[in-house]
């Protein structure tokens, strides 16, 4: 028998899982308002996996091999998998989702996986006001472009310092050629940036948003 799961059901489960495991604020970017039903609370790990698998394949065009690699990676907890998939699903079926999952599937530990998870949450939050059109990657970081042409880098960093590596990345970002014209550059952080970073980004015409994903210290 084929199981069919809706995005709203998966998001409701993500709320229940997330509040128990990582706390409600971490799920704020997913923007879920529905309350889990008793039936959803009683889902088994196998059913969670089936729901995630269904969304990855049916809604995002992820191949069975990549979906399996992501869901079978023991470095990624079921909670992280579910929150990541729920957030990514809010973007609709857009280019680049399968590649993001392929990269996330290579996570070596939970820290790597949470970085992908929170990048997806940042994009889901952005998508509420400025729809995300496509996802790509540059120098190992997730980058997305919105419908209005803005190039956005959603990063899970507690503190962004202006280092040579940071400067090289911004230079590479602005030099990269994208299929669609770029109308502007934006960096969105889960944490904060040093004064030097804020000043350098502003001088380079890059908008900065900090504390974009509320946490216990924000």
What single string gives the DSSP state of each residue in 163-212? -HHHHHHHHHHHH---SSPP-EEEEEESSEE-HHHHHHHHHTTEEEE-S-
What sign results for the dihedral spanned by CA atoms 45, 6, 63, 128?
Answer: negative
Query: Could you report the per-residue pLDDT of 168-190, keeping only the tens digit for each?
Result: 999 999 999 988 999 999 999 99
Query: Could you report the per-residue pLDDT of 129-159, keeping only the tens digit for each?
Result: 999 999 999 999 999 999 999 999 999 999 9
Query: Could you report the per-residue pLDDT of 14-49, keeping only the tens digit for each?
Result: 444 433 333 333 333 333 323 333 444 566 778 888
The residues, ordered by sequence, that sit 6+ positions from 17 with a Cβ below 8 Å of its Cβ are: 48, 78, 79, 82, 83
Q: Please report, for the chain, the start and end positions of each structural domain, with discontinuous segments joined by +.
A: 7-209
* Residue 76 confidence (pLDDT) above 90: yes
- Residue 29 is predicted with a pLDDT of 35
If 0-12 CB within 10 Å is exposed, 13-18 middle and 19+ buried, where does residue 98 land?
A: middle
- Residue 213 is predicted with a pLDDT of 87
CA-CA distance, 52 to 84, in Å (whole number)?
10
Global pTM?
0.81
The mean pLDDT value for 210-218 works out to 70
């Amino acid at each position: 028998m084929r199981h069919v799961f809706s995005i709203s059901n998966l998001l409701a489960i993500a709320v229940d899982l997330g509040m128990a495991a990582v706390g409600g604020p971490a799920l704020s970017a997913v923007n879920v308002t529905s309350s889990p039903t008793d039936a959803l609370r009683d889902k088994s790990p196998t059913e969670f996996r089936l729901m995630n698998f269904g969304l990855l394949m049916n809604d995002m065009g992820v191949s069975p091999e990549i979906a399996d690699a992501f869901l079978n990676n023991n470095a990624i907890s079921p909670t992280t998998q579910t929150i990541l998939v729920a957030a990514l699903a809010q973007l609709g079926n857009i280019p680049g989702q399968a590649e993001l999952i392929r990269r996330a599937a290579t996570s070596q530990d939970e820290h790597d996986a949470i970085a992908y998870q929170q990048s997806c949450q940042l994009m889901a939050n952005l998508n509420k006001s400025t729809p995300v059109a496509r996802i790509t990657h540059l120098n190992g970081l997730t980058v997305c472009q919105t419908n209005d042409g803005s190039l956005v880098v959603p990063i899970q960093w507690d503190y962004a310092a202006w280092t040579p590596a940071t400067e090289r990345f911004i230079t590479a970002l602005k030099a990269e050629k994208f299929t669609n014209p770029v109308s502007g550059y934006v960096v969105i952080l889960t944490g904060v940036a040093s004064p030097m970073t804020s000043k350098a980004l502003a001088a380079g015409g890059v908008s900065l948003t900090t504390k974009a994903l509320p946490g216990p210290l924000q």
